[in-house]
Structure 1
Amino acid sequence: MGVIKSLFPSRGRVLPAPVEPGEVLAETEDLGIRLGGRDVLSGVRVAARAGEVLALVGPNGAGKSTLLAALAADLAADTGTVRLRGRPADDWPAAELALHRAVLPQSAQLSFPFPVEDVVRMGRAPWAGTPLEDEDDAAVAAALEATETAAFTSRPFSALSGGERARVSLARVLAQRTPLILLDEPTAALDLRHQELVLRVCRERAAAGDAVVVVLHDLGLAAAYADRVTVLHDGAVAAEGPPAEVFDEQLLSRVYRQPVEVLPHPRTGAVLVFPKRPA
C-alpha cells in the first residue's frame, strides 16, 4: 500500500493513497471472535472492494454487527486475520485509521444538544491539520444535501426524531470522506423514502470508487442495491456472491427458519424476497 506523506509530519499521520478500482480495502481471513463466552464468528472470510456495495445479511444474532466492527478495526479478532488496505487491523494508529474508514453504528447517542451542523462537522475532525482540512465546508454541505438534512442544520441533535438522527449520523460519516464506509443498519429507523435515499447514497459512493459495507435486514433492499451479499448464519458465512445467485429459496428458508419465496421483479427482473404466508 502506498501512502502520501502529510505536510504536517509532526502529527505522525499519512494521507490515504488513491484507491484503485476493485482494490480490497478491508478483508478477513478465517476470522473468529468470542463474546460472552460463545463463538460469535467462526472461520469468516469476507472482502470489501472499492467500487462495490457489500451487504451483510442474516437473522438476528448471526454476527453481522460483530463482523462490521471487526472490518472497522473496532473489535479485535480472537483467531484469524483482519486487514485494511493490506495492513493488519491492530497495526493502525487510531488517527490514521480515521482517514481510511468511517463507521455508522446502530444507534447515535450524544450527551449534549449540539446543533446538527456541528454533529456533521465532527466527521471532519480526522482531517484537522492536513491539507484536506480546506475541504471541510464543502464536505459538510455535500453531506447535508445528500441526506436531506440541510433544512435543520441549526436544530439541536437531541430534538430530532429517530429517523432524522439516523440521517444526520449518516451525513457525519459521508463528511468524513473516507474510501471505506461501514454502515450498521442505516435504514432501521427510516421511512420508505429515506430507506431508498440511503441505499442510493451507498450506490453513489460505490460508483465514485468507495467500498461500502452495509448491514441490512431488508433482503429486498440488499437485492436491489448491493453488488454482493454475504449471508451469515450462526456466526459463519452461509453464502456469498451477487444477490441473484445467493438469494435462493432453500438457503434463505433454512437460514431464517421461515419459508420464503424468491421471485423476479415483473419490470426489472431484480430479485424479490417474500415470506410465504397462508393463502
Structure 2
Amino acid sequence: MNRPLGTNRPLGSIRLRGRPVPPAAPEPGEVLAEAEGLSVRLGAREVLADVGVRVRAGEVLALVGPNGAGKSTLLSALAADLPPAAGSVRIHGRPASDWSAPELALRRAVLPQSASLSFPFTVEEVVRMGRAPWTAAARSDEDEAAVAGAMAVTEVTGFAARPFSALSGGERARVALARVLAQHAPLLLLDEPTAALDLRHQELVLRLCRARARAGDAVVVVLHDLGLAAAHAHRVAVLRAGRVAADGPPAEVFTERLLSEVYEQPVEVFPHPRTGAVLVLPRRPSGPARH
C-alpha cells in the first residue's frame, strides 16, 4: 500500500485539515475487528476472560450462548465502548483506543439492544442520525440516498413521518436498524436485532446482514435463536461463562454435545430434510403435548 511521503502512519489514521478520513473499502477477508486475550470487568465481576475472536470483511459472525455468557459485553468491547481489563481490541488494524470518536463512527456502527429517545423525532429524523459521522465528508445527495435506501430495505418508509415514540417495539427495532445501515460503516455490530420482531422481519434482518456481508462489510450479530444463526451466519462463536467455547462454521460448531453442555439443556441437531442446513431443537418427550 502506498503512503504519503514523510509518514509511516497507516492511511486510516491520517486526517485532512483536522477532519477524519473515511476508510477505504476493506479487502475480502480483511480483519476489521479483533479481540486477543480480552478480559472485561463490570464492577467486581469478570464478565469476559481471555477471549479471542476475529471479525472479517465479507462474513456474518453470530455470537450465541446462554443468558449472562458475555455476548453483549463482547460486542460492546469490539465497538470500543467498553475498555478491556486485560488483553486488546483492534479495529481496522489499530488499537481501539487510538481512534477518535469521529474516526470510529466512520468505521463501525452499533445497534444496542433497545432504543429510546426523549424528544419527538420522526422516523426519518432518527434514520438520518446515522449520517451524522459523514457531515464533513458526504454530499447532501449521498445522505438522501443513504437514508432512503436504509428505510426502504427495512420497510419503514411507509411511516417515515410518524413519531418514533408512537411505534411498536418491532417497528422501533427496524427503524434503529435503518439508522445503523444509513451510517454506511464497514463494520456492523448488532445486539439482538431480531428480539422484538415477528418471523417475517427476523428473516428480513438476517437477509440484510448477509447482503451487507456480500457487499464486503463485516457483521457481528448477537442472537438467541440458534436456528437463525445456523441458517444465516458464516461463522458462530459460542460463549459460555465469559469464554469462547467454540468458534467456526455452524455445521461444525453446532453439535448436540457442545450445545447441550453450554445451555444445560438437551438439544437435537440434525440436517433439514430439504436443504441440509443445520437445525437445532430442544430435546422434548415424544408424543403430543398432554394437558
Q: Same fold (TM over 0.5)?
A: yes
Q: 1:133: how far off?
A: 5.2
Relative to structure 1, the CA distance from residue 4 to residue 26 in structure 2 (aligned partners, 3 Å threshold; closer, same or farther) is closer
1:272 aligns with 2:279: yes
Q: Deviations over 1:193-245 (max 9, x none)?
A: 00000000000000000000000000000000000000000000000000000
The residue aligned with 2:80 is 73
Cross-structure match for 1:103: 110
Counterpart Cα distance in 2 of 1:77 and 1:150: 39
Q: In terms of Rg, which structure is larger?
A: 2
Distance 2:45 2:139 in 1: 43
Letter of the aligned partner of 1:148 in structure 2?
E
Aligned to 1:252: 259
Distance 1:124 1:171 in 2: 11
Q: Is the 8 A contact 2:37 2:88 kept in 1?
A: yes
C-alpha distance in structure 1 between counterparts of 2:23 and 2:248, whole Å: 28
Check conservation: 2:19, 2:136, Cα contact below 8 A.
no
CA 1:132 to 1:102, structure 2 compared with 1: closer, same or farther past 3 Å?
Answer: farther
Taking the aligned partners of 1:133 and 1:213, their CA distance within structure 2 comes to 29
Task: Tell me whether 1:3 sits opposite 2:6 in the alignment.
Answer: no
**C-alpha separation in 1, matches of 2:267 and 2:236:** 17
Aligned residue for 1:217? 224
CA distance in 2: counterparts of 1:132 and 1:87, whole angstroms: 28
Using the TM superposition, name which of 51-60 and 33-42 deviates more: 33-42
**Structure 2 unaligned blocks of 5 or more:** 1-9, 287-291
Structure 1 match to 2:148: 141
Are 1:104 and 1:184, in contact at CA under 8 Å, matched by a contact in 2? yes
CA distance in 1, matches of 2:282, 2:43: 32
Q: CA deviation at 1:5?
A: 5.9
SS in 2 for 1:212: strand
Once the 2 structures are TM-superposed, how far is the Cα of residue 3 of structure 1 from its aligned partner? 3.3
C-alpha distance in 1, partners of 2:60/2:139?
25
8 A contact 2:60–2:210 mirrored in 1: yes
- CA pair 39-3 structure 1, distance change in 2 beyond 3 A: closer
> Aligned partners of 2:153, 2:257: CA distance in 1, in Å?
38
Q: Does the 8 A contact of 1:262 with 1:273 survive in 2?
A: yes
The question of whether the paired residues in 2 share the 8 Å contact of 1:63 and 1:235 is answered with yes
1:179 paired residue among 158, 161, 186:
186
With the length of structure 1 as denominator, give the TM-score of the two structures: 0.97
Normalising to structure 2: TM-score of the pair? 0.93
How far apart, CA to CA, are the structure 1 residues paired with 2:266 and 2:120?
Answer: 45
In structure 2, relative to structure 1, the CA distance for the partners of 1:133 and 1:15 (3 Å cut) is farther
Structure 1 residue 38: deviation in Å? 1.2
Distance in 2 of aligned mates of 1:214 and 1:96: 22
Runs of 5+ in structure 1 lacking a partner? none
2:174 corresponds in structure 1 to: 167
- Take 2:186 and 2:153, find their aligned partners in 1: how far apart are those partners? 17
Instruction: Return the offset for 1:93.
Output: 0.2
Distance 1:195 1:269, change over 3 A: same
